[in-house]
Structure 1
Amino acid sequence: MSEAARLMDRMYRRQRHIYDASRKFYLLGRDAMIAELQPPVGGSVLEIGCGTGRNLVRIARTYPEARCFGLDVSAEMLDTAGRAVARASLGHRIRLARGDATAFDPAALFGEAAFDRIVISYALSMIPPWNAVLAESAGHVAPAGALHVVDFGDQARLPRPARWVLNRWLAGFDVTPRHDLPRALSEMARQARRRVRVRQLFGGYALHGVIEWDHGPM
């Protein structure tokens, strides 16, 4: 087991039981991102860092013809996700696997070469080699697909005291907003000659970025 896996398991061994109840108040923008996914009928959706499975269950219910997959490095979180999937009676449509988001083989884990939509929700701010996760994820997007990222934003329009409190609080959970994320997404799209959209939400509290492979070269 990698050091990253040990750290995540240690962090979430107890937190996983209250994760969804506590995080729903501040992991903003997730449901709006899910509403925009619009995978093709029968298409595939992979969530990187799927955690408790909350997003995957919502994606599967929103798009009943989609095939859903979840990857996480934490066995503790995958146990919770498996229970959530079973409670929702979605085990036939959601597959989970343990793996390192910086380097994984989707064919070996899921029997899939690529995915129509890949989602990364509030995971990059918890993974130190987050640029490697972005690059690895982009490499597994299908030719007519899209990569969606939602995470903490640039905080540009938040009052200074609010920014200070937010960042002190996040630091207590080993969460680091990636203020360079818009540039990284734009550079990745430029190199791949694809379109990118980045929106700061709620005064910069959250960010939703999309790289689209379905419009052809720019």
Structure 2
Amino acid sequence: AAHRAFLDRYYRVTHHVYDVSRKYFLFGRDGVLDRLLASEWTTLVEIGPGTGRNLVRLHRRRPRATLGGLEASDVMRAHAGRRCPWARIDAGFAEDADIGAVLGVRPQRILMSYSLSMFTDKDRAIDNARRHLAPGGELWVVDFADLAGLPALPRRAMRSFLSAFHVEAVPDDLPHRHGASHVDHGPFRYFVVARFGGAE
């Protein structure tokens, strides 16, 4: 309840300018969307869709796909729902929600785009997503990495900035702990992209 209240307070002020401001530091998102669209699937759920920005881009390029989202913030869920009337956006937290219930079927793809870094328990969120994938499905994550390639001063400044908004970079060993089938990093280790299969 406390975390949901924080999210709603924050997004109530920022959701009108969120997409414009975030394009300057949420790098790697469109590259992951391109990778997703390079494979065949018909169902996808985004965990933490925010404004619905990624869902809109996926819908434009794959209009017959069934898309949905799981959003913890009531403010953002309402905003994304208005922007994406063709998608079902459910309320819930990544760590314990029934992701399969969003579309009524276990999705073939799950996307976490700069949302994992805001989750209270990142390991539980990954486990829960993998558990709800359809057979042969994939979980794709793009998020802040350890910023190790940045010079010390901007690295400290960026980490302080992220911490102020309850954002914690994805630990370097997390993808490997959960058996990621693919991991790569953006320039300066600013962001990480990881792909996971379903839980056995």
What TM-score, normalized by structure 2, do the two folds share? 0.92
Structure 1 residue ranges without an equivalent (≥5): 86-90, 190-194
Decide whether the 8 Å contact of 1:40 with 1:116 is kept in 2.
no
Matched residue type, 1:187: R
Q: Which residue of structure 2 lines up, in the alignment, with residue 211 of structure 1?
A: 196
Instruction: Please give the alpha-carbon distance, in whole angstroms, between the structure 2 residues aligned to 1:159 and 1:108.
Output: 44
Written as runs of structure 1 = structure 2, the 5 A alignment for 1:133-152 is 133-152=125-144
Q: Which residue of structure 2 lines up, in the alignment, with residue 18 of structure 1?
A: 17
Decide whether the 8 Å contact of 1:40 with 1:66 is kept in 2.
no
1:15-55 superposed Cα distances (whole Å, 9 cap, x missing partner)? 111111110110000000000013525x1011001111011
Written as runs of structure 1 = structure 2, the 5 A alignment for 1:1-218 is 2-38=1-37, 39-41=39-41, 43-85=42-84, 91-92=85-86, 94-112=87-105, 114-178=106-170, 180=171, 182-189=172-179, 196-212=181-197
Q: CA deviation at 1:74?
A: 0.7
1:64-110 superposed Cα distances (whole Å, 9 cap, x missing partner)? 2321111101110011112222xxxxx23x21111121111234443
Instruction: Please give the alpha-carbon distance, in whole angstroms, between the structure 2 residues aligned to 1:162 and 1:127.
Output: 24
What TM-score, normalized by structure 1, do the two folds share? 0.85
Instruction: Please give the alpha-carbon distance, in whole angstroms, between the structure 1 residues aligned to 2:100 and 2:194.
Output: 26
Structure 2 residue ranges without an equivalent (≥5): none
Decide whether the 8 Å contact of 2:100 with 2:132 is kept in 1.
no
Instruction: Please give the alpha-carbon distance, in whole angstroms, between the structure 1 residues aligned to 2:113 and 2:6.
Output: 19
* Percent of aligned pairs with the same amino acid: 34
Instruction: Please give the alpha-carbon distance, in whole angstroms, between the structure 2 residues aligned to 1:108 and 1:144.
Output: 18
Q: CA deviation at 1:197?
A: 0.9
> Segments of 4+ in structure 1 off by > 4 A?
none
Structure 2 vs 1, CA of residues 106 and 167 (structure 1 numbering), >3 Å: closer, same or farther?
A: closer
Instruction: Please give the alpha-carbon distance, in whole angstroms, between the structure 2 residues aligned to 1:68 and 1:30.
Output: 17
Q: CA deviation at 1:163?
A: 0.4
Matched residue type, 1:57: V
Instruction: Please give the alpha-carbon distance, in whole angstroms, between the structure 2 residues aligned to 1:116 and 1:185.
Output: 19
Aligned residues: 198
Q: CA deviation at 1:60?
A: 1.2
Matched residue type, 1:27: L
Q: Secondary structure at the match of 2:109?
A: strand
Decide whether the 8 Å contact of 1:154 with 1:200 is kept in 2.
no
